Every structure is written in structure tokens, then in C-alpha cells.
Structure 1
Amino acid sequence: MIGLSANLKYYLCCNPVYMRNGFDGLAGIVRNVMKQDLVSGSVFIFINRAGTHIKLLYWDGDGFAMFYKRLERGRYSVDRGDKPAPSRLITREELMMILDGLSFKDLKRKRRFKIS
């Protein structure tokens, strides 16, 4: 089961993805387009061109797990960047904001104490 902890790395695929891709198709995108290690324990996030579907792919130690959601109304707001790279690292909080329908592009985070 996917536990979305702050200790995991979250990679957002910056290119729109065809949502009929299953485990093997998304694994191919991670390996060949995003250039990431599939079994690193990271969560890989894919959104379709219309912004209405999202998939999360995760290796949980003995197999792949996938979360898939289709919005009945609205779109996921994602900042793919000015010059999109194949993928970009986002935080757990940014992922939660995407899933909750918030745009993190225009938000400003207040500074917090952090132990180095």
C-alpha cells in the first residue's frame, strides 16, 4: 500500500501521459523518459493532457502499486515549468495540493524552522 510519507521522493512527469498506460507502460516512461530508478522507493506521478486523470506508481518492495483517480469535474493544476524537463522533484505537500485541487504555482510558503 502506498504510504505518502515526507521521507519519500516524489517525481512529477512533466509531459502529459496517455492514461491507458498500465504498470509496464508507466514503468517504461520512468525508465526511458524520466531517467529514474523504478525500484528506488520513489513515487512517480503522471497526469494526462486534459488534467483530469492522475496516476501514481510506486515500488513497495515486492511489486508495483498504483493509485489512479479521475476527476468528475475540474482539472489538476500543475506547473510543468517554463522549459519542462522530463520530470521534476516535488514535495509531499505539493502532491497533496495537486490532489486537493490547489495550484502551488502562485502560493508563497511562510518560512518555518527546520533542523538541518
Structure 2
Amino acid sequence: MIQITPHMRILLSVEPVDFRKGIDTLAALCRTVLKSDPFSGCLFVFLNRRRTAIKILCYDGQGFWICQKRLSQGRFKWWPKKGCDTTLALDAHELQMLLWNGDPFHTQAAPMWRKIPA
């Protein structure tokens, strides 16, 4: 089972992906496009071209997990704009907001880390 924890590294692919691709092809995209090791334990998040589904790829030490969420109506409203970066890092609460079809960068969540005064 995949459990999303605050210390996990979550990488989002900015470019849409053909969702006919399976685990092996998505892992190859992690290496070539996202410049990351698919065996690192990171969560890799992909969007389809129609913006109706998200796939998450993760390696748990024994094998790969692939999860998909497809909206029954509408499209995902937020996704980063295509630019020079091919990857965007997300925090766990931002991924959860994205999966609920929200904008992860316009939420009013507490900051992830604060320095404690001495």
C-alpha cells in the first residue's frame, strides 16, 4: 500500500503523458525526462493529455506501484505551465490537494518547517 508521508519526495512531470504507457515506460520517463532514479522511492506524478486522469508511480523496495485517478466529470483545473522545467517538486499536502482537483499552491496551509528560536 502507498502511504504518502510529509518526508516523501514527490516529483510532478510537467509534460502530459500517453496513459497507454505502463510501469516500464513510465520508469524510463523518470530516468530520461525527469532525471531521477525510479528506484529511489519517490512518488512520480503524471497527467494525461486530456487532463482527466493522474497516474502515480512509486517503488517500495520490492516492486513498483502504479495508481491512477480518473475524474468522472470535468478535468483537472491546475497543472504547471510548460516551461524550461520538466519537473516540479510537491509536498505531501500539495499532492493531496491536487488529487482533490484543487490548486496546491493557493491553499492556506501552515508552512512545512519553521526554525525554533533558541
What TM-score comes out, normalization by structure 1 length? 0.88
The alignment's C-alpha RMSD in Å is 2.0
Identity rate of aligned residues, in percent? 32
SS in 2 for 1:39: helix
Give the gaps of 5 or more residues in structure 2: none
Partner of 1:86: 86
Partner of 1:53: 53
Partner of 2:103: 103
Q: 1:62–1:79: structure 2 CA closer, same or farther, 3 Å change rule?
A: same
68-77 or 28-37, which deviates more: 68-77
Residue 8 of structure 1 deviates from its aligned partner by 0.6
- Write the letter of the residue equivalent to 1:22: G
Residue 76 of structure 1 deviates from its aligned partner by 1.7
Residue 109 of structure 1 deviates from its aligned partner by 4.5
Tell whether the 8 Å contact from 1:79 to 1:105 is kept in structure 2 after alignment. Answer: no
Partner of 1:15: 15
Corresponding position: 1:71 with 2:71: yes
Distance 2:112 2:58 in 1: 29
Q: 1:73–1:84: structure 2 CA closer, same or farther, 3 Å change rule?
A: farther
Residue 70 of structure 1 deviates from its aligned partner by 1.1
Tell whether the 8 Å contact from 1:46 to 1:55 is kept in structure 2 after alignment. Answer: yes
What TM-score comes out, normalization by structure 2 length? 0.86
Give the gaps of 5 or more residues in structure 1: none
Residue 105 of structure 1 deviates from its aligned partner by 4.2
Partner of 1:26: 26
Count of residues in correspondence between the two structures: 116
Partner of 2:38: 38
Tell whether the 8 Å contact from 1:9 to 1:89 is kept in structure 2 after alignment. Answer: yes
